[in-house]
Structure 1
Amino acid sequence: MQINQLTRAYRYDGIDLPIPPHLAGDPQALRAYHATLYPAILNAEAIDVGVAGTVHVTEYRRAVGTKG
């Protein structure tokens, strides 16, 4: 058996977002931090994309549709 250490990555619109060490364990605070960089993240859905190599990827996807 082999144990691999996974790192987390957050992506928005194809861009890997920075993860400050003091916010790494708090997903809500991290989302608020990322929303300061890209305000559309507040309304985006956080999708667990899965594991790619040694990285666990979460992607913010904008809601698509009509207003109203």
Structure 2
Amino acid sequence: MQINHLTRVYRYDGIDLPVPPHLSNDPQGLRAYHASLYPAILNAEAVDAGVSGANHVTEYRRAVGTKG
């Protein structure tokens, strides 16, 4: 049996976002941090994109639709 350790990766618009060590276990704090870099993340949906290689990927996907 082999145990693989996965690294969490957060992606927005095809860009891998930085994960500061002090926020790695705080999803809400991390989302606020990422929103300071890309404000559209506040309204985006966090979607589990699965495992890619040695990474567990979470994507922020923008809400698509019309206003009003």
Whether TM-score is above 0.5 comes out as: yes
Give the equivalent residue in structure 2 for 1:23: 23
TM-score (normalised: structure 2): 0.98
TM-score (normalised: structure 1): 0.98
Structure 2 unaligned residues grouped into runs of 5+: none
Give the equivalent residue in structure 2 for 1:51: 51
How far does the alpha carbon of each residue in 1:4-43 deviate from its partner, in whole angstroms, 9 at most, with x for none?
0000000000000000000000000000000000000000
> Given residue 59 of structure 2, which amino acid in structure 1 is its aligned partner?
E
Instruction: Say what the alpha-carbon RMSD is for the aligned residues.
Output: 0.4
> Given residue 31 of structure 1, which amino acid in structure 2 is its aligned partner?
R
The 2-side partners of 1:15 and 1:63 are apart by 17
Structure 1 unaligned residues grouped into runs of 5+: none
The 2-side partners of 1:11 and 1:4 are apart by 21
The 1-side partners of 2:3 and 2:46 are apart by 27
